[in-house]
Amino acid sequence: MPVQKTIAETTQYRLILVLPESHKVLAIGDPSGYRLPSVSIPPWTRPAAQLQKAILAIWRLHAIILDFLAPSEECPLCAVAEILPSAKVLELKPVPLERIQAPQISGQQHAQLTAMLSGCSNISNPFSRIGWINEAITWLESETGKTLSSKSAIEQFNAGDSFALVKFHMKDDRDYWLKATGEPNAHEPSITKCLSELGGDYLPEMISFRPEWNAWLMSGEAWRVDEMPHDPFQLHTLIRDAVESMARLQMKTQGRGRDLLDAGAFDQSLDVLQHRSTELFDYLEEAMSLQTSTKVSRLEKKRIREIHTIFDEVCQRMEDLGIGESIVHGDLNCGNIVIGVGHCQFIDWSEAYFGNPLISLQHLLLLNTAGSADLRDLSNQILKERYLEAWMDRCDPDALREGFVYMPMLAIGSALYGRGDWLGSPRRSDSRHQSYARSLARHMDRAAQETQLTEALCR
């Protein structure tokens, strides 16, 4: 029987590896001239992280990704990296940029790269400048009083478009993170700072902020949850800790809606969701009418309008419970949960909402995917009770238990609404967003048919 080979899909990048002192680039020499090295990385991963690892694995060079050049037909994907102190690589030769000719690099890319090497790069992206990492190290060491272990220990996770995410390892074995955000997430440092002040230990310690970079330093003592445990007990334990930590954080932010909104959180109060529900469900009708796939049936207009009525009733019932609104993390995946000292912490607050706290509980329960359906149901019931216990002094337990019935429908509405700005932007016509909306509409349809919900709404 023949053996089938599985060919993994990869994404290829040409690399412009810049030597910081001479500003020459490393190239491969052949009889026709010089050509740029290239690497292939897995798709759907962080390009900066994968490229840094690939450059080290192939050429034993330590590098920091500076930026990604504008694509062209000849060179669709091209990354620029600054080479940190490393051993010489015999197969790569340092040459002036002028020796790299088309089609290795387009005219537009050449102009962009020339600006970067001359120090005239767009001020909106300070991380495309040669030497910025040295300034970051000086900032870090000045603020912490600690010394970097080695530049070779710097780990990079994000780059480009004024975004940066870098991990530094110090000589005393402590870790620190530098994070910077550009549009449309330029608000993230301010909301993170606000939550750090309000929520204390439920976010990593924010050490310093650098306005000209829109960047901040934070403690790296907590460790990231890169993958949810497969063992049901371990998974339950992790989500339980996250549920309790989220409840504590939310209680610390109750009554601070003005502070949260001023710091950059997006308004998802029940009043807002009810006020804009007609726009949302009109969009669902529009998106459903544009479905071309026959794999699943469309939801009829009549059914979408029935779900709209149910959603509005859920919002009103939830408001009548008087639970109160607080911070909601709109992107609760395993990568945004970190394990601190004694409890979970939460990072990546670009999707910070001010709304009903049970939305975050529902999103945490959705991470519970291990075991049979019966086991998950039992586990989720225990998790709800732990959340209720944490809120016991702030809210009527019976109101919370009734809120548990409404929260699946409300959480789907929250995911659909998001920041709310897309309703008046070209994004509403994006086919991927329409497909996402159709998927959420089907989840709403299933949630609307749940026996507990239909019985509660009949009372």
- Whose structure tokens read 């040669």? 130
Tokens of 235: 């998974």
Average pLDDT, the chain: 92
Q: In this structure, what DSSP letter does residue 153 have? A: G
Residue 122 pLDDT more than 60? no
- 134: tokens are 């040295």
In the chain, what are the domains?
Answer: 11-120 (3.90.79.10), 132-219 (3.30.200.20), 223-458 (3.90.1200.10)
Give pLDDT, residue 120: 66
- H or E element at residue 320: helix 301-320
Alpha-carbon separation of residue 51 from 12, 34, 68, 227, 232 (angstroms): 10, 21, 11, 21, 34
> Who wins on pLDDT, 107 or 312?
312
The pLDDT assigned to 123 comes to: 58
State the amino acid at position 178 in one-letter form: L
Q: What is the pLDDT of residue 7?
A: 44
Residue 70, pLDDT > 90, answer no
pLDDT, tens digit (0-9, with 9 covering 90-100), for 281-299: 999 999 999 999 989 999 9
Q: What is the β-pairing status of strands 11-18 and 78-83?
A: parallel
Whether the per-residue pLDDT at 102 is higher than 90: the answer is: no
Confidence of residue 6 (pLDDT cuts 50, 70, 90): very low
What does the DSSP assignment read for 224-258? E--S--SSHHHHHHHHHHHHHHHHHHHHHHTT-HH
For residues 193 and 107, the model is more confident at 193
State how beta strands 33-35 and 155-160 pair.
unpaired
Q: What average pLDDT does range 200-207 have in this prediction?
A: 93
26 Rama class: left (phi>0) / alpha (psi -120 to 50) / beta: beta
Highest mean pLDDT out of 27-36, 289-298, 403-412: 403-412
Q: Please state whether beta strands 11-18 and 175-180 pair in parallel, antiparallel, or not at all (unpaired).
A: unpaired
CA distances from 218 to 26, 64, 109, 208, 456 (A): 34, 20, 34, 7, 45
Q: Is the previous residue joined to 204 through a cis bond, with omega within 30 degrees of 0?
A: no
Cα separation, 399 vs 421, in Å, equals 31
Give the angle subtended at the CA of 244 by the CAs of 240 and 246, to the nearest 5°: 115
pLDDT reported for residue 118: 80
pLDDT confidence tier of residue 8, bands split at 50, 70 and 90? low
Q: Are strands 175-180 and 206-210 parallel, antiparallel or unpaired?
A: unpaired
Integer angstrom CA distances of residue 185 from 117, 169, 268, 362, 428:
27, 26, 17, 24, 19
CA distance 132 to 215: 12
Digit-coded pLDDT (tens) for 343-373: 999 999 999 999 999 999 999 999 999 889 9
207-233 in b/e form (b: 16+ CB < 10 A) is: beebeebbbbbbbbebeebeebeeebe
pLDDT: is 218 or 45 the higher one?
218
Task: Name which of 8, 6, 76, 10 is nearest 43 in CA terms.
Answer: 10
Give residue 167's pLDDT: 97
Q: Which pLDDT value is given to residue 288?
A: 97
Residue 372 token pair: 């049979």
Q: Find the DSSP H helices in 368-424.
A: 373-391, 397-417
Task: Give the predicted TM-score (pTM) of the model.
Answer: 0.91
